[in-house]
Amino acid sequence: MSFKSALLAAAATLTLATTALAGDITINEAYARSAGANAKAGAAFMMIHNAGDTDDRLIDARSDVSARVELHTHKINDQGVAQMMHVPEGFVIPAGGMHALARGGDHVMFMGIKAPFEQGALVPVTLVFEKAGEIVVEIPVDLERQDGGHGHMKKKSN
């Protein structure tokens, strides 16, 4: 395949793989990563938009890629050290607004990863919302990302 063909194929894939939605909720700019080939945990980050006129809440996430999936955040403890913690009540997605799941903040946590996250692979995740219900997305692994920039994901066909 020529460089031009590869570039066009990549652009077409990104154009088609930008958004997943259910009800008033839209998921985009998602990516997943782990700390390396031997990592036992990983995380997913994304932007969640709520076009509705009432708040919604991300209350759960599920995936077969790990033994457990939880919604997590970082809190600063009394010693000034950031600690990761489970957020069982989930995250409010404000009406007409958005909520970022980002490195160093709120995120989807995969614990007990069954196989290494490989660059470019897709991680299937079901996001569960209080009002919008379930959204199944395929989130691309981006091990090279250095900071909070987001990538694209695919909605999984049922």
61: domain CATH number is: 2.60.40.1890
- Assess contact for 146 and 33: CB atoms under 8 A: no
Over pLDDT 70: what percentage of the chain?
78
Sign of the dihedral through C-alpha 144, 147, 148, 149: negative
For 18-73, the pLDDT digits (tens) are: 466 668 999 999 999 998 888 999 999 999 999 999 999 999 999 999 999 999 99
pTM as predicted: 0.80
C-alpha span between 153 and 54 (Å, rounded): 25
Domain that holds residue 30: 3-155
Which pair of tokens denotes residue 88?
């069982």
Query: Do the strands 98-101 and 25-34 form a parallel or antiparallel pair, or are they unpaired?
Result: unpaired
How many domains does the chain divide into? 1
Alpha helices in the chain (DSSP H): 3-16
Phi-psi region of 6 (alpha: psi -120 to 50; beta: other; left: phi over 0): alpha
pLDDT(155) > 70: no
